[in-house]
Amino acid sequence: MGLIVCAAIALMSAAANACTRLIYETGNKTFLVARSMDWMEDPKTDLWAFPKGMKRDGGLGTGSITWTAKYGSVVASFYGVATVDGMNDAGLVANTLYLGESDYGDAKASGKPLISVGAWTQYALDNFATVDQAVDALSKEPFAIVAPALPDGNAAGGHLSLADATGDSAIFEYLNGKLMIHHSPKYTVMTNSPTFDEQLAISAYWKNIDGLSFLPGTINSPDRFVRISWSLNAAPKEKDERLAVATTFSLIRSISVPLGLSEAGKPNIAGTIWRSVSDISAKRYYFESAYSPSIFWVDIYKLKLAAGDKPSHLDLNGHPIYSGDVSGKFLPAEPFKFLSN
């Protein structure tokens, strides 16, 4: 057995993580971004509408970075302390997935303004319209990330993916205290461990295998990366908007994990709690809870996202059954506070 094959198998057996993100291109050369949120318990996700003009900070008190939101956004929260998913009114989509290898370095020793890992995704949505803009600005490392433990006691480590209306894509990972950026429209799939460069190496090996005859089948992260990459390339590029959304949902469902599945001692391998699809062209954010039998969506154009508007939120506590357009159901609310010590 060759060295590459051995390495691929070793990585697949060693990695056990959750969540998947993909970018689907339609026949009209527009793009939809889907992600699954896999976790060992319900992370109490709500949807929020944050207007442009909001005064923000990194959530860590004195020394935190501050900014004013240039763009409005609809986002999904995580335990009420982090933004982990969403799209802004310029069409930038952000998805943060768990990454056990994350190491943000010694933030206090950096001498830079601080930002909670819970605010990282929101910072991108508030400040950038395109992936190029984000890569240019974030590569200068304007802040140092602090990652306190999550409310459930688990480590808060993740990598951030961005996509825009052109299909451009970038993935940001902090490894051994250093920022790694993978920037290319070719990067249409992201899962979790191992790190993205190693995922690409595994995927390159599997490109030589006939996917109609055999694909790796476990719920481990590298296997999911390979399977969804093959499915994404095989899926037809639909021109009809409804079919395009349906195809994107079918892809992310196909790689999801059964609800309730968990493994003792591995909090990051678990069932799919919810899925989202961001239709960048239509500026529509779709959401599907594994606890509910239907899909609902938010039209960004219908939200109050102008400067001076108040933040609002859609309470998903208790898993209410929503269907169709819920843009009018958002109610004014004080924004959640980002994860802190």
Active-site residue list: 19
Backbone angles phi, psi at 75, to 5 degrees: -135, 160
DSSP 56-76: EE-SSSTTB-EEE-SS-EEEE
Classified as helix, coil or strand, 247 is helix
Question: What pairing do the DSSP bridges indicate for beta strands 93-98 and 66-68?
Answer: unpaired
In contact, 88 and 72? CB cutoff 8 Å: yes
**Sign of torsion over alpha carbons 249, 35, 296, 288:** positive
Nearest to 130 by CA among 179, 170, 158: 170
DSSP 336: P
Q: What is the CA radius of gyration of the chain?
A: 19
Buried b (16+ CB within 10 A) or exposed e, 67-76: bebbbbbbbb
